[in-house]
Structure 1
Amino acid sequence: MEQLTNDKLFRSVRELIEKSRSEIVRNVNTVMVYTYYHIGELIVNEEQAGNKRAAYAETIVKDLSEALSREYGKGYSHRNLDYFKQFYLLYRERIAKSVIAQSDTVKNISQSLIAFSGLFKISWTHYIQLMKISDPGEREFYERESIANNWSVRELQRQYHSSLFERLALSQNKRGVLNDANTAQISEAPVHALKSPFVLEFLGLKEDSGYSENDLETAIINKLEHFMLELGKGFLFEGRQRRITLESDHFWIDLVFYNRLLNCFVLIDLKIGKLTHQDIGQMQMYVNYYDRKIRQAHEKRTIGIILCKEDNQAVVEFTLPLNNEQIFSREYKLYLPSKEELKKQLL
């Protein structure tokens, strides 16, 4: 009993420490972003005031960088001060609409920090990456996704370089993602959550190598966390090779997930070749089985995704009914696509 008590005490203390550490990190990040924003504001205001003194204005950042570096060491290089300026210029409209704009930032720093933490929820390093995105709607999209999915900076970089914004836009109505970029709504239409194509470069499979569907499935299982990030929000892994038995005939679904946001099962079948109508018929059977035998009354209808090497939208169109909202096909790529190529498809 004493050992159990000690174990329980240890877990409680550990949980408190971990939560406290997370809170400290969040607070430090908020202070950092807050400080950098207002440094940028001070620099911009000084430069604007010095418009009539062009020679002086050109040296403001250089002189300030040298003075701050002597006083505080690293962190205040000319490049970083330029980031502070850019951050202020890009996000000052957001601040102007908030309660922060109504307060004296020097006298009410504590209150301003609380409000600031609600406006800027990711790290300064995240914002450095976001500032490299010129399109405001696209930048807002990646910020929102970083917050919603708790992306690390590395994952943000990967999603950007794999053209997530363009791929989701292609999955919808060309500019659907852009239209939704300024909202935090989760679309209830399953097709809006599917990228086109899926990029699976993290699996380490080569385009010119001979691999089987089992190899593809095993690689996904071994990199399940990466695959779920590629799938999108709200996915929970339920299992692989889930068996369905119909009058002594056995069938196996490659991957089964549950999406807690869409409130439904998501079945994934893997195909290493071109999509056929037989593949669609097989998925229709899987979806029907889950809807009639597995799905509970409060859950929404099952979604089926056929992940294939080569899609065939004509076959999809004429195999499935016009009002299809359950079965979708998507190509997968084993390499990162060109952002320029995908952007051309959006024009």
Structure 2
Amino acid sequence: MTDRNPPAVPDQVDYATVHTDIIALLESARSAAARSVNALMTASYWEIGRRIVEFEQRGQDRATYGEALIERLSADLSARFGRGFSKQNLWQMRAFHLAWPARHIAQTLPAKSYVVPILQTPSGQSPYLSALAQAFPLPWSAYVRLLSVKSEHARSFYETETLRCRWSVRQLDRQVNSQFYERTALSTNKAAMLEKGEVAEPTDAITPEQAIKDPFVLEFLNLKDEYSETDLENALIQHLADFLLELGDDFAFVGRQRRLRIDDSWFRVDLLFFHRRLKCLLVIDLKVGKFGYADAGQMHLYLNYAREHWMKPGENPPVGLILCAEKGAAEAHYSLEGLPNKILAAEYQTMLPDEKLLAEELDKTRRELEARRITRIGDGEGDI
């Protein structure tokens, strides 16, 4: 029987308009939420820095007093709130307060909002922090990046331009690295330089999801530590971890996606194992794409950090392994920098899995996962 009154089909042009408007509304809401979280977090960090500085001023030997305070605070706050309160983070909060002093903040706030810092009302709201957040329109990551700019004039310039041009943290980082302030100051056509600085590159843009996944925001909100890794890469990492454990009981799994922070940058080690017989850490970096010369330098960075911060007394220096597989070609590279002697280096090469075997296993797994993904798409289940 034919339905005499079929459901009306929206006009395509009208639907496209509504669809576009809703998407724009949601993207705007997400961006606003990310900015709100960042502003409150930044205000809290500035306040923490203020309290650290004021407490230090009571001590006789400020340097020793400050170090002891930071160390104790880091231990106590980490136990209570989890990550985000390492000694390095607390030192940055202290430096943040000193770089943006109270007199500077007071100029940006309503007269009464800064006088009495009422941190919490019976309703749980914090009018003081809400008011203080108005003084920090940039994300915390931007202020961390600005802290590395030693010149106060340059730091103020980059802060102003970031606000004026709406630079992302990536764009700010690129401009600082290119010495945009110095080049503008020396230029005979400063207006043209400033106009050029407004132009963003494709790699500068970030999505609201990426903004909310900023490591600082994750730590502040105690959110699950998730990143925008592809399902394919996650599956490859997990499979490789299982594969190495199957090779024997010499491999002890330490962790995956292990984060480390160097200066103002965050890095992640894909896999971290400990080899019991060799008594050393094995750092594995997985490259879904083609191996590049910069990957070797990054591995050296990981190993130097692991040797200083992760290696325990009595252990041998860590060894690194870079794996990649693409279009049937595979490259594996052991990074042996810093090993005690050639004999131990040879022992590493003998006892660790064969590079070719690991690369072939990686390539095999990649092809199987790709085939599974294509099958699911063909069956209408969507991407994995």
- TM-score with structure 2 setting the length: 0.44
- TM-score with structure 1 setting the length: 0.48
Q: Which has the higher contact order (CA 8 A, sep 6+)?
A: 1
